[in-house]
Amino acid sequence: MGNCLSSTQSDSEEEESPPPATSPPPLTAPDPTPTSSRQPTRGRSLRYYTGKSRSSDVFAMKPLDALRSYATVHHPPHSLPASTLLMSTPHTLAIFDAYPKAKYHFLVLPRYPFPPRSNPESRSSIVKLDHLDSLRTLLLKTSADVREQVIGALADTAQEVEEMIRDEMIKTEGFEWGINIGFHAIPSMKHVHLHVISEDRMSDKLKTKKHYNSFRPDLGFFISLIDVQHWIEDGDDQSIRQHIESLDSAEALLDTPLMCFKCDEPEHNMPSLKKHLEKEYEKEKKTALKRIAERGRQRSSDEDMF
């Protein structure tokens, strides 16, 4: 499975070299994890190319297996195109969602082996591959220590991705808006993955009620990372099992009638919902830019006072 990925790798590729001194710094603040192999991304948009998807045309594979293929490559920056890979760490990958449901939409997944063989501290994976199938298997089949390590690694990378998105929002739009981080209750692709998605939900790829409802942060199908962290922090195996079992009934939530998750206004169909979301976004942008302008003035007068 992973072979088809490495076989596409060019023989002429060299080991990663640091960017030249004249090269601009990475997109975000200094990398907190020195082993991170995040690529220099300055000048590279976090937005998506218009047109066809990137990952599926590069690798001939079944879409449902794509994440696992990515998760098992030995050297992500060499094996995955920059249009697929946002960043990698020894424990995780962050990739562009091939069918983004918002202006910014990334997936964070644990690599396998976890930690990778290249880590001298640990020569073999502390978690079995099939225990990384889904959030369910991760929480139910691994020890408290292992699930905390995997969720913790996902959370660290998600936070980094969130910061990269925020930087890009400021750079391109002049303001920041909401970002949601969470799992789907019933995922359709194998290999546990965390969604990091901006709250605008403005995308050509957002087409159906199920698409929309699956990312509603208030519905119950989208399970926030914070909730899962609480489950594993204060829960014993029994209570975690109950949380996981409650996910089984989440499928019906996808049929919930369309309504704006920001203002609760019902919408008749997807085209009207999408227009409404655009209005919400424009309204938020206007308010935010106005507040930033005011705060700027206010802040300088505050500084005079103190």
Residues involved in catalysis: 193
Structure-derived torsion over alpha carbons of residues 147, 152, 155, 161, reported in degrees to the nearest 10: -120
For residues 273 and 212, the answer to whether their CB atoms sit within 8 Å is yes
Phi-psi region of 264 (alpha: psi -120 to 50; beta: other; left: phi over 0): left
At 195, is the secondary structure helix, strand, or coil? strand
Q: How much of the chain is in helix, strand and coil states, percent to nearest 5? A: 45, 10, 45
For residues 138 and 131, the answer to whether their CB atoms sit within 8 Å is yes
Of 63, 46, 16, the closest CA to residue 196 belongs to: 46
Spatial distance between the Cα atoms of 106 and 92, rounded to a whole number of angstroms: 13
Minimum CB–partner distance for residue 62 and DNA (Å): 8
CA angle 66/68/73 to nearest 5° reads: 100
Minimum CB–partner distance for residue 203 and DNA (Å): 9
For residues 116 and 79, the answer to whether their CB atoms sit within 8 Å is no
For residues 184 and 222, the answer to whether their CB atoms sit within 8 Å is yes
Residue 156 has phi, psi (to 5 degrees) of -60, -45
Name the residue nearer to DNA (CB basis): 47 or 207: 207
CA angle 204/211/192 to nearest 5° reads: 110
Helix ranges (H only) for the chain are 3-6, 55-58, 66-71, 76-79, 135-141, 144-173, 209-214, 225-234, 237-246, 270-305
The encoded tokens of residue 85 equal: 């890979």
| H/E segment holding residue 87 | strand 85-88
The residues binding DNA (CB under 7 A) are 63-64, 99, 184, 187-189, 205, 207-209, 211, 214, 258, 268-272
Spatial distance between the Cα atoms of 215 and 293, rounded to a whole number of angstroms: 32
